[in-house]
């Protein structure tokens, strides 16, 4: 009888489900392994055998700034401290803590995060003196200053001219760099900006000494290929490091962020659970795991705390995480259909990505029984757990499972055991414990 706890590819497995009479694995301790596990790429054949598109990718988290701009979300001082602490401990490269000029409370929260975290903290500022002074006074290492560059925003949001925009951008970059802070400049609404003007702005702020240029797809209209071309062009016109900020209006935020990295950007702005303005930003968890698992590129981030981080942000933001959300949704590592569940019991790589396991993100794999479960499957599940049910008992338990599933309730192993006990099913033998 095997009590092997290794999967076919060397990663540890942690089922909450009993995986059959041969093996019973129950809540193993966290396996000792490198900070960012990389599973062998030789696992793949075909489309995924190339992994040299990117060399590195840095993560700029804007959960506390753009994320907080989600309609209905307001983080308290303590919420911000707690989220920032986890982001910091995980190794996030930059934390955008807020907009210091906004209010005294915001200023204090940003100042507190800047002094209590070891990573780079960033504060947002318009190209306005008061904003920039507030950001500098808050003690952040990086000031992120932004101005609209699209004609629609220059005219109908700022009520200014292109000339004003360039002048204020240059003045702001100069003030920030003179003060000794790292400067990030954003031409807001870059993806709807006249290209020649955008390049003029980029060249002007580069000459003024900005350290970073962030290209925001403020209204979410980019596509992966168009964004790639755009970022390549931006990189060709500046010596500053390039960062991208993408929005999910068409569900393309993470794809666009990755496209930006492929095109030469060093860093992407993301938010946990993809919260943010309108449909939100590129998701922290999607971006990090795609870089780690699909691109096989080490971010240095402790991915095993992703679920914990996601749950904290879910609670504090009051934005419920949908079950089908990539990486962090309840269904992300759940299996119900017979073929999938059977495959996963044998080897989780059959119907999961293989390069991303629940253990890597601190989640748990679940095998779910539901409305469509049949007597065959129920008998199998019961026998796997050492029960010897009669035909009548199998029918009784199956009826309970179906009723439960029809009420849109999730049936856990514990539920199944309870149904079996209530139906008086006999158990044949003791389980093998590890």
**Residues near Mn ion, by CB under 5 A:** 66
In the numeric block, the tokens 């400049």 are attached to 185
Contact 218, 188 (CB under 8 A): yes
Question: Which residues are bridge partners to 124 per DSSP?
Answer: 144
- In the Cβ-directed half-sphere of 82, how many Cα atoms lie within 13 Å? 15
Task: Give the nearer residue to Mn ion in terms of CB position, either 125 or 423.
Answer: 125
Q: How far is the CB of 300 from Mn ion (least distance, A)?
A: 25
Smallest distance from the beta carbon of 249 to Mn ion, in angstroms?
A: 11
Least distance to Mn ion, CB of residue 217, Å = 8
Please say whether the beta carbons of 123 and 143 come within 8 A: yes
Strand partners, 245: 216, 269
66/68 with CB nearer Mn ion: 66
Ordered alpha helix ranges (H), 208-320: 224-236, 253-262, 284-289, 306-317
How far is residue 314's CA from residue 233's CA, in Å, rounded to a whole number? 37
Distance in Å, CB of 218 to Mn ion, minimum: 6
Q: How far is the CB of 216 from Mn ion (least distance, A)?
A: 6
Q: Closest CB to Mn ion belongs to which residue?
A: 66
Alpha carbon distance 146, 285 (integer Å): 26
- 8 Å CB contact between 218 and 191: yes
- Nearest distance from C-beta of residue 358 to Mn ion, angstroms: 30
- Based on CB atoms, which residue is closest to Mn ion, 188 or 240? 188
Q: How far apart are CA 404 and CA 419, in angstroms?
A: 11
Q: How far is the CB of 9 from Mn ion (least distance, A)?
A: 38
Nearer to Mn ion, 67 or 354 (CB): 67
Task: Indicate the residue among 261 and 411 with the shorter CB distance to Mn ion.
Answer: 261
Which has the closest alpha carbon to 420: 393, 391, 390, 383?
A: 393
Nearer to Mn ion, 61 or 66 (CB): 66
Q: Report angle CA 415, 421, 425 to the nearest 5 degrees.
A: 120
Please, which residue, 24 or 247, has the CB nearer to Mn ion?
Answer: 247
Mind giving me the DSSP string for 101-135?
GG-HHHHHHHHHHHHH-SSEEEEEEESSHHHHHHH
CA 427 to chain centre: 43
Which residue, 249 or 380, is less far from Mn ion as judged by CB? 249
Min CB(282)–Mn ion separation in Å = 10
Question: Distance between CA 199 and CA 233 in Å, rounded?
Answer: 9
């Amino acid at each position: 009888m095997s009590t092997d706890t290794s999967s076919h590819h060397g990663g540890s497995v942690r089922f909450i489900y009993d995986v059959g009479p041969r093996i019973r694995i129950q809540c193993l301790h966290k396996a000792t392994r490198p900070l960012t596990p990389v599973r062998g790429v030789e696992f793949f054949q075909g489309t995924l055998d190339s992994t040299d598109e990117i060399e590195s990718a840095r993560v700029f988290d804007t959960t506390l700034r753009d994320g907080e701009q989600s309609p209905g979300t307001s983080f308290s001082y303590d919420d911000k401290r707690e989220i920032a602490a986890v982001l910091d401990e995980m190794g996030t490269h930059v934390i955008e803590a807020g907009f210091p000029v906004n209010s005294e409370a915001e200023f204090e929260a940003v100042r507190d995060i800047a002094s209590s975290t070891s990573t780079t903290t960033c504060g947002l500022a318009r190209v306005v003196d008061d904003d920039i002074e507030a950001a500098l006074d808050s003690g952040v290492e990086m000031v992120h200053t932004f101005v609209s560059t699209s004609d629609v925003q220059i005219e109908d949001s700022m009520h200014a001219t292109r000339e004003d925009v360039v002048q204020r951008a240059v003045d702001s970059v100069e003030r920030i760099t003179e003060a000794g802070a790292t400067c990030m400049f954003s031409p807001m609404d870059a993806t709807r900006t006249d290209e020649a003007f955008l390049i003029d702005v980029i060249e002007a702020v580069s000459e003024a000494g900005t350290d970073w240029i962030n290209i925001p797809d403020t209204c979410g209209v980019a596509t992966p290929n168009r964004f790639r071309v755009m970022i390549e062009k931006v990189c060709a016109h500046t010596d500053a490091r390039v960062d991208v900020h993408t929005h999910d209006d068409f569900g393309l935020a993470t794809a666009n962020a990755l496209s930006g990295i492929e095109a030469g950007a060093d860093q992407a702005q993301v938010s946990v659970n993809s919260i943010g303005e309108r449909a939100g930003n590129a998701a922290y968890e999607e971006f990090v795991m795609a870089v780690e698992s699909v691109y096989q590129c080490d971010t240095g981030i402790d991915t095993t705390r992703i679920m914990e981080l996601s749950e904290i942000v879910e609670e504090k933001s009051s934005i419920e995480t949908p079950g089908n959300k990539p990486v962090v949704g309840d269904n992300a590592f759940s299996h119900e259909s017979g073929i999938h569940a059977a495959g996963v019991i044998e080897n989780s790589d059959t119907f999961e990505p293989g390069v991303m396991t629940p253990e890597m993100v601190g989640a748990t794999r679940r095998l779910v029984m539901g409305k469509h479960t049949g007597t065959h499957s129920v008998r199998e599940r019961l026998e796997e757990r050492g029960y010897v049910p009669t035909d009548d008992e199998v029918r009784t338990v199956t009826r309970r499972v179906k009723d439960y599933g029809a009420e849109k309730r999730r049936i856990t192993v514990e539920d199944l055991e309870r149904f079996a006990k209530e139906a008086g099913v006999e158990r044949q033998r003791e389980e093998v414990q590890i």
